[in-house]
Amino acid sequence: MTVVSDTKTSLPKLVIVTGLSGAGKTQVLRHLEDIGFFCVDNLPPALIPKFTDLCNQTNSIDRLSLVVDIRGGIFFDDLFEVLSELKQKGAYQYEILFLEASDECLVRRFKESRRSHPLSEHGEILKSIQEERACLQELRGRANKVIDTSELTNAQLKAEVSELFSSRVDLSQFRVSIISFGYKYGIPLDSDLVFDVRFLPNPHYVPELRLLTGNEAEVEKYIYSSTVTDKFMNKFLTLIDFLVPEYIKEGKSILTIAVGCTGGRHRSVAIANNLERHLKDEKYRVSIRHRDIKHPDL
């Protein structure tokens, strides 16, 4: 594994929480506060440089979190310029955490809370959500981490925030999150890299393997008995070995790799398990989740 030094790890930490209205930014801010961050909600981007300067002068705030979102109105357009200024000054090591959820989930949340959407001048919640999603597309692309909260409970969201930003976690140590999934159930929205392995031999069509999963030795043996699988894995792992150090250089603290087959039960599970073993051999911190392995896929 290539070790990449990070000269900014001693700098104070700034987490900018942003994303879609109703996606859970307030809950994330509370969780960050619980693990020791000094938190401010809805700060106009134009005030960020002065505010961070003030925090720097105190020498007592080394973990700062700010919620910046569409509520800032015309001031929100200043965010990219402000982030460029922060990078030039080098006073804070900042990360962008972007929260999103499906349209259906957001509509339901607004209806349940009886809150109006910040852009809802016309009263149409769905239209406002879609407008906001379009406005934030570029910012989402610049985020260090994207969390889809559609199916997360508050406890699960808290656990994910704690894992990402808790002081017990060495943030300079890169982590890879692997997800196996089935295309029939949708691509994981928080994926950084997505690999489609539906071209590999499918155990679903072998009666004695159909009810098993990619965790079973018989299924793994069947998938890897093909020369196509062998060739793919050589190229796949070579690509991963090239990409991971580049993401570390780019400043990511977590890289999410999704591997998908049709149902998420056989091929994607076996390939994801192989990837996990390879990355652990390379001494990376790795977590793995087989999202759709319990679906019957019959």
Can you tell me the distance from the alpha carbon of 218 to that of 210, in angstroms, rounded to the nearest whole number?
11
| Cβ-contact 141, 20 below 8 angstroms | no
What sections of the chain are H helices per DSSP? Answer: 25-34, 48-58, 79-89, 103-113, 125-135, 137-142, 154-165, 207-210, 217-224, 227-250, 267-281
Q: Enumerate domains of the chain plus CATH numbers.
A: 13-165 (3.40.50.300), 175-290 (no CATH)
pTM, two decimals, is 0.55
Average pLDDT, the chain: 85
State which of 32-36, 203-207, 249-253, 293-297 shows the largest mean pLDDT: 203-207
What percent of the chain is modeled with pLDDT above 90? 47
* 26-35, 224-233, 246-255: least confident range: 246-255
Can you tell me the distance from the alpha carbon of 276 to that of 74, in angstroms, rounded to the nearest whole number?
45
DSSP state for residue 262 in the 8-state scheme: S
* Cα dist from 221 to 3, 71, 108, 211, 289, whole Å: 34, 54, 45, 15, 21
Q: How confident is the model at residue 77 (pLDDT cuts 50, 70, 90)?
A: low
| Cβ-contact 14, 64 below 8 angstroms | yes
Q: How confident is the model at residue 4 (pLDDT cuts 50, 70, 90)?
A: very low
- Whole-number pLDDT of residue 81: 84
* Cα dist from 274 to 15, 180, 214, 290, 294, whole Å: 33, 11, 10, 13, 19
**78-109: b (≥16 Cβ within 10 Å) or e:** bbeebbeebeeeebbbbbbbbbbbbeebbbeb
Residue 92, helix vs strand vs coil: coil
pLDDT 10s digits, 114-131: 777 877 766 688 888 888
Residue 237 has pLDDT above 90, yes or no: yes
pLDDT 10s digits, 170-227: 444 578 999 999 999 999 988 999 999 999 999 999 999 999 999 999 999 999 999 9
